[in-house]
Amino acid sequence: MAIILLIETATDVCSVGISINGNLISIEESFVKNAHAAQLQILVETAIKKAAITLNQINAVSISIGPGSYTGLRVGLSAAKGYCFALNIPLIAIDTLESLTYQASNLLSIKKTDYYIPLLDARRMEVYTGVWDASLKKIKEVTPVILDAFSFQDYLANGDCIIFGSGAQKFKDICNATNLIYLQDVYASVKGMAVIAFHAFQESKFADIAYIEPFYLKDFVGTTPKKLF
């Protein structure tokens, strides 16, 4: 049996869950912005209680590793490492966009599509994105992209494309392709992590706890505070 603590903090949503053998049995989420540090421990404790297990029964921790928010990713990974060190259990790192894609594919269990294109908002017209085919195989690596009306034309020219995630509305507003399908209500959540984490656990695909870093994609650029006077 594989009992896994799932943590997703890559975006404004703080999402925590417990899965057993790939089945999500409890989930707790907070949609309060900039509150990950304050909310995460509470959500973990509540998810464990609802799953009717104890912390010591957890066999691994799975973390959504990015891309996403610098602060959110740091908070989530630090917490995940802490649990792993304290319990002497392995860490599983999951691509945030892969998790989004798996979640979208579950929502489309009846309808088939040719390409899955997750889009995470990266401010202005920029997004973090990648492309997965109908079998959920990644065919374009995750990268930052500045959107315009001609983005993803290679894929739109060859089949139906599903877009989803916090940056999807931006592309929907500027692209009028008839085979572009906008899927709402898909956000970064542990809902897409359970099965991926379980497969990784079975195959012993564990991260190096001492050296793993969040997958930022871009270098952090700080801003100088404005003078008050």
pLDDT for residue 227: 45
* pLDDT band (50, 70, 90) for residue 107: confident
pLDDT for the residue numbered 224? 41
As given in the structure block, the two tokens for residue 65 are 């590793």
Residue 185: the pLDDT is 87
Token couple for 91: 């860490």
Residue 218, pLDDT > 70, answer no
- Dihedral of CA atoms 38, 212, 5, 44 in degrees, nearest 10, equals -10
Domain 3-95+188-202 has CATH 3.40.50.970: no
Topology adopted by domain 97-182: Nucleotidyltransferase; domain 5 (3.30.420)
pTM greater than the 0.85 cutoff: yes
pLDDT of residue 219: 52
pLDDT of residue 45: 98
Are 4 and 18 within 8 A, CB to CB?
yes
Task: Note the pLDDT tens digit of each residue in 4-32.
Answer: 999 999 999 999 999 999 999 999 999 99
What pLDDT digit, counting tens, does each position of 37-70 carry?
Answer: 999 999 999 999 999 999 999 999 999 999 999 9
Residue 229 has, within 13 A of its CA and on its CB side, a CA count of 0
How much is the pLDDT for 148?
A: 95
Residue 212's pLDDT band (boundaries 50, 70, 90)? very high
Q: DSSP E strands: which ranges in 21-66?
A: 23-30, 60-66
Q: In this structure, what is the dihedral angle of CA atoms 40, 45, 51, 56, given to the nearest 10 degrees?
A: 110
Give the mean model confidence (pLDDT) for residues 187-203: 97
Confidence of residue 221 (pLDDT cuts 50, 70, 90): very low
Domain 97-182 in the same topology as domain 3-95+188-202: yes
- Distance between CA atoms of residues 71 and 10, nearest Å: 8
CB-based contact 198:22 (threshold 8 Å):
yes
Give the domain ranges of the chain.
3-95+188-202, 97-182
In order of 12, 87, 95, the CA distances from 102 in angstroms are: 20, 29, 11
pLDDT at 171 over 50: yes
In 3D space, the residue among 74, 73, 108, 110 whose CA is nearest the CA of residue 188 turns out to be: 73
